[in-house]
Structure 1
Amino acid sequence: MPNPKGNPQNLEPIKSSRDEQLTEQLNFRVTKDMKEEVKAQDNPPEFCRDAIQKALDEKQGK
């Protein structure tokens, strides 16, 4: 009989190799075409993070 509380390894926090942990969420609206193009990327979440960071860097003049 399976454990109703799940596998103990599933309860451990996800390990990340990042300097800063990804703890916050950001939600915003986009057009249907934009959503489809982002979803077509190899890694959509990382693609969005990179695009936002690039825009922030350009705004700060880096």
Structure 2
Amino acid sequence: MPNPKGNPQNFEPIKSDRDKSLDGKLAFRVTKEVEEQVKAQDDPPEFCREAIQKALDEKKGK
């Protein structure tokens, strides 16, 4: 019978090697084609983070 209080390992924070924690969340709509292309990447969340950061850096540089 499963533990009704859950698995204790699920309550431990995720370990990260990042300098800053990922506290914020973004949600936005895209076309189905873009969604499929992003999901086809090896690590879709990291791909999106890098793409957004690259665009922000380019915009700041102008």
Q: Which residue of 1 aligns with 2:31?
A: 31
SS in 1 for 2:45: helix
Q: Which runs of 4+ in 1 moved over 4 A?
A: none
Q: Note the C-alpha offset of 1:3.
A: 1.8
| Structure 2: unaligned runs, 5 residues or longer | none
Distance 2:58 2:48 in 1: 15
SS in 1 for 2:17: coil
Q: TM-score, normalised to structure 1's length?
A: 0.91
| Structure 1: unaligned runs, 5 residues or longer | none
SS in 2 for 1:56: helix
Distance 1:2 1:41 in 2: 35
Equivalent residue pairs, number: 62
The two structures, once aligned, show a CA RMSD in angstroms of 1.3
Report the identity percentage. Answer: 76
